[in-house]
Structure 1
């Protein structure tokens, strides 16, 4: 049943409902009590319908809340992504424990520089061959021939007066030298041995004068009365020096390429030989 505004037509007005005319139209008088009962019944039906629909909606909302709670609490973490990543790392999803990561307890190898820092650890034999074992060396594509080797415990005897004083003041124990040649250039490289890295570093820093060049096997004395190229450096308990020039006595100029390459290449070679000495001793220490 439907009603117009007010449920009926007012006196003297046009009714908006259907099935009933206004009073005074000549039809039978309406049963007002029945109409009232019917309207009350309709209101009760609508209220029941609303209660049923509302109850169903409430059920849906509660179920949704439970589902949401299941998502946010499933892993004990508010971030499902982080929970999943933890499972992948730990292997918890399999439950077997076979996929758990393992970590090696093996200690890293010792630092080779520890074994060349002082005589206490640097106990390998000190010989000419331990520093200059190769008859030919190739560094940066440049090949040199070894022409002479020498070693002495009198460091001052293999250096100029100024450098001899520096070596003596810092306690040089022995000095190893080798001469290499390449395309007319000649270079002598010397390795001075000290008790530890302290005096070796000071000797390289204080170096003045020059290492005496070493002649031999077709190489005459060189760098005795002409300009030559000099370097000094240090690694561990060793200071090493180079002096490079020409076998024919030609003077070295500031932009001279062969002698620049000679001091750089032989210096790099000696550096590697000293580092190899440290590596070999470090490796042996792990085998004991």
Structure 2
């Protein structure tokens, strides 16, 4: 059948119903294959995501479910509690503190060790900071006023002085006499120190000539426990000690420091003996 010009395929075209369009069919087939492949890829990814979600859910939910716990293991509720540990105990008993040495040199009832010039001023010399002083005469008296100047005597006797122990030390033309006044209590010794005026009388002898009887000398006063002590320092040549002098001043300080240490050592020795007796 002929339609003439202007047929379905354009001018001059022809149409044959018995001949298929192989190119169009191939195109349609290729398109279907592509769509099928994309659907398979997308479906696989979705399936993978679903599996991963399922695994994650199983892991999360399995931590709180006893169904996923290996058989035979106890639950947290059935585990026994840890036994309480007892606090450590120590049976060691600390020893009492040692006696205070000052207690012994402050009370005559405790200060019972032998007391005289020999025990308070032992040895033939003393050394203070590399300065050595030779010991001269020593003396002790229960007549406290006789060992002191007229101005110092009343402070001693008025506060119940029991005795005065003296010793003299010398070095390079300077001599020092120290006098230790002994009282019954610390309060009495402190009061005597505060009331003190004048000086302890110098003690010559054993190679040391008279000194500080008519000349100006250096004086020091102090107390510790039930002991008040006084020093007088001057030149054996008879010259005066001036306010600018350092030699006599240093000698007086050295002997005073030594006396302080000697009294403290007395207290420490008695405290140590008391501690040993108590421990035994």
Q: Give the structure-2-normalised TM-score.
A: 0.72
Specify whether residues 60 and 214 from structure 1 end up closer, same or farther in structure 2 by C-alpha distance, changes over 3 A only.
farther
**2:260 counterpart of 1:271:** yes
Match of 1:207 among 184, 196, 199: 196
User: 1:258: how far off?
Assistant: 2.0
Provide the C-alpha distance between the structure 2 equivalents of 1:165 and 1:60, rounded to a whole number of angstroms.
103
Contact 1:144/1:181, CA 8 A, preserved across alignment: yes
Where do residues 1-288 of structure 1 align in structure 2 (5 Å cutoff)?
A: 27-28=28-29, 30=32, 41-42=43-44, 44-52=46-54, 54-55=56-57, 58=60, 105-288=94-277
Provide the C-alpha distance between the structure 2 equivalents of 1:279 and 1:59, rounded to a whole number of angstroms.
79
User: 1:54: how far off?
Assistant: 2.8
Provide the C-alpha distance between the structure 1 equivalents of 2:149 and 2:63, rounded to a whole number of angstroms.
97
1:157-203 per-position Cα deviation (integer Å, ceiling 9, x unaligned) = 11111111111222111100011111111110011101111111121
Q: Give the structure-1-normalised TM-score.
A: 0.70
Provide the C-alpha distance between the structure 2 equivalents of 1:60 and 1:215, rounded to a whole number of angstroms.
107
Larger radius of gyration: 2
User: 1:58: how far off?
Assistant: 4.4
Q: Give the CA RMSD over aligned residues.
A: 3.3
Which SS does the other structure have where 2:271 is aligned? Answer: helix
Specify whether residues 61 and 216 from structure 1 end up closer, same or farther in structure 2 by C-alpha distance, changes over 3 A only.
farther
1:260-287 per-position Cα deviation (integer Å, ceiling 9, x unaligned) = 1211111111111111111111111112
Q: Could you list the runs of 4 or more consecutive aligned residues of structure 1 that deviate by over 6 angstroms after TM superposition?
A: 33-37, 59-62
Structure 1 stretches lacking a partner, 5+ long: 1-22, 63-75, 77-91
How many residues in Structure 1 have an aligned counterpart in Structure 2? 231
Provide the C-alpha distance between the structure 1 equivalents of 2:236 and 2:174, rounded to a whole number of angstroms.
6
